[in-house]
Chains A and B, each alone.
Chain A
Amino acid sequence: MPPETVDMNESDIKEEYTRFIGRKILFIAILAALLILIAGIAASLGSANIALTDTYSAIIERFLPDYVSPSNLATNVVWNLRLPRILMGVAAGIGLAVAGSAMQGILRNPLASPYTLGISSAAGFGAALAILLGKGVVEGEYIVIANAFVFALLASVLIIGIARYKGARPETMILAGIAIMYFFSAMTSLLQYFGDADAVKEVVFWMLGDLDRSSWDTLGIVGIVLVLCVPLIMLKSWDFNVMAAGDETAKSLGVQVERVRILSMILAALLTASIVCFTGTIGFIGLVSPHITRMAIGGDNRFLLPASGLVGAVLLVGADTIARNIIAPVILPVGIMTSFIGVPFFFYLIMRKGREYW
């Protein structure tokens, strides 16, 4: 009897499919819980010693003042020093990972990320220009941030411009992105070559990426961009799913491929630019969070986008917590730590997975 005649009945498949969806939702729920836990642990760790329970009390007190009574020290340290940094880690992790997922989806390329498409290196050049030459799009204390933001957007405008001119094919956009990355790296190197040693060091520090410069104000700005861009990207989930099967298929299913690709690229670029201008270029998160998530729950973008955002947040906050504490009082830049933690974990997943490619 050929295997084709052995068939499952319909309710079985429906049940299996429902379970399959349930698993994905469970994964997201677990990640959300894990993120809250890690954020709490992160808020309790640091030079001032605060117990975990005291930390949570300090956080809860702001919303339900009648039920808990944290120490003054805890309230102060947690709300003024640690929470802005941790929440910035959460926001940056979500933003970079969602931007990475969207880029990999619309470009159908597992190597696409804000980093590999030149957006981060353009931001780095903008910052270097401000730090080394004092030249920027604005004057004063925000010059580095504004420069990084503007140059990051400039890089994506270039990619999108080329895509509009040559047709928004994934290969075109990726090659344009890689060319842009090399161009801005070279420009940065050139500035550094002639720069003064202290300023060059500052540029290097900026490019490593860290959450040191976080405040409630910067968090607010990133938060607004996140609230605007992430839902808009998630609305395109089905289009991303269909586009994964190729442009022809997507077009035949009614998706306006070029428009979705360019619009999503704009949103992803805006997310990336508004984050890296405050944190510097935190690499790796945008690249691996989508892959880690895909290995766990598959490629359906309806679940991939939110889940990878949470994976990115957990990775970034976790990495930052270790970076702050591993050789305290020295605080390592989180950009270094994300790779140190992410790479071994990522290798483990690659080796463990039975399939050739997830």
Chain B
Amino acid sequence: MRLQIRDLSFSYGSTQILKDISMELGSSDVLGIVGPNGAGKSTLIRCIDRILVPQRGTILLDGQEMKQMNSMEIAKKIGYVPQSISNTFPATVFDTVLMGRRPHLGWRSSDADIDTVLEVLTMLKIKYLAMRDFSEISGGQQQKVLIARALAQDAEILLLDEPTSNLDIRHQLEVMEILTKLVKKKGLSVMMAIHDLNLASRYSDRIIMLNGGSIRDTGDPVSVLTAENIESVYGVEVIVKHEAGKPYIIPIRSFGD
């Protein structure tokens, strides 16, 4: 197991966001975190990367208690891909990806770092963007650049927060295909918070369904994405169809209040 989480709880002030979360992430695992808005998906990811510090619980990273690791050690192993970033000051795509080398860098960036960046840009087919300003490229391109940065980081675990939310259908599929390919090729472990249940179903090995800060259900897509689960968690009526062994969700109507 790469990540083992035991009884994780987190609150903002007196508002509890996560309650006693226990879960695991193995190597070459694609784990989808689903759940309605406010269920705690993003918070969970941020707690794991220690962007937020949970009040209770333990997280073991490759068997080591994360609280005892320094931030650079963690950054060498875990890459975080936010939904989007807004640069206050201009930065080229190249420099944005080069930032992923930060955990490995001194003041100078070496030739090897530059080569790593080029390699990653090539792998994601965005080399042609290298010298463009990050803020001037499209949402789909930005998403790929942020994934590229996490890859340049040489992290073996990727945490993604809604990697497809800003993208059109083609870019959604492209990004998911890139991720699953990397999981196969490099043995990465991927954990992603994702709204689109059909994408989650199609690309995840396992799914965790969160509701109100607790795990409602966990398992493979077929066992978690049932009409019953979705109806009780989201308050919507759905039909679940199965296609090539994966469930697909067709929304019918919301139950309202």
Q: Report which A residues bind B (CB closer than 8 A).
A: 3-4, 6-8, 10, 13-14, 16-17, 20, 104-105, 108-110, 234-235, 237-239, 241-242, 244-249, 251-256, 294, 298-300, 302, 355, 357-358
Contact = CB atoms under 8 A, between A and B. Distances in A.
A102 to B, nearest CB: 13
Nearest to B170: A2
Nearest to A110: B88
Q: Which 3 pairs of residues, A with B, have the shortest CB-CB distance?
A: A254-B75, A252-B80, A299-B89
Interface of B: 46, 49-51, 70-76, 78-80, 82, 85-92, 94-96, 99-100, 102-103, 105, 107, 114, 118, 121-122, 125-128, 130-131, 133, 136, 153
A16 B132 CA distance: 12
A254 B95 CA distance: 17
Given A10-B118, A238-B105, A254-B71, A249 B88 contact: no
11 contacts: A7-B127, A10-B127, A108-B88, A241-B91, A244-B87, A246-B82, A251-B51, A252-B80, A253-B153, A254-B70, A300-B95
Nearest to B159: A252
Contacts of B125: 4, 7
A274 B100 CA distance: 36
A242 B75 CA distance: 13
B52 to A, nearest CB: 9
A13 B118 CA distance: 8
A124 to B, nearest CB: 29
Given A249-B85, A298-B91, 8 more contacts: A4-B125, A8-B130, A13-B118, A13-B127, A241-B99, A251-B71, A300-B91, A355-B90
A270 to B, nearest CB: 21
A17 B131 contact: yes
A246 B85 contact: yes
Contacts of B70: 254
B130 A252 contact: no
Contacts of B91: 241, 244-245, 298-300
A20 B114 CA distance: 13
Given A251-B50, A251-B71, A241 B95 contact: yes
B111 to A, nearest CB: 9
Nearest to B81: A252
Given A8-B128, A8-B130, A238-B105, A253 B89 contact: no
Contacts of B96: 245
A294 B82 contact: no
Contacts of A4: 125-126, 128
Contacts of B128: 3-4, 6-8
A245 B51 contact: no
Contacts of B122: 10
A17 B114 contact: yes
A237 B107 CA distance: 7
A236 to B, nearest CB: 10
Contacts of A294: 89-90
B102 A242 contact: yes
Contacts of B107: 234-235, 237-238, 302
A239 B130 CA distance: 21
Nearest to B122: A10
B51 A252 contact: yes
Contacts of B80: 248-249, 252
Contact of A253 (B86, B99, B121): B99
B71 A299 contact: no
A358 B107 CA distance: 24
B90 A298 contact: yes
A252 B127 contact: no
B85 A13 contact: no
Given A10-B122, A254-B103, A298-B92, A245 B87 contact: yes
B10 to A, nearest CB: 15
B236 to A, nearest CB: 31
A302 B121 CA distance: 23
Contacts of A234: 107
Contact of B71 (A3, A105, A110, A256): A256
A8 B49 CA distance: 35
A8 B127 contact: yes
A255 to B, nearest CB: 7
Contacts of A247: 51
Nearest to B135: A357
Contacts of A248: 46, 51, 80, 82
A341 B103 CA distance: 42
Contacts of B103: 253-254
B131 A20 contact: yes
A244 B88 contact: yes
A13 to B, nearest CB: 5
A7 B114 CA distance: 18
Contacts of A254: 70-76, 102-103
B45 to A, nearest CB: 10
B78 A252 contact: yes
Contacts of A110: 88-89
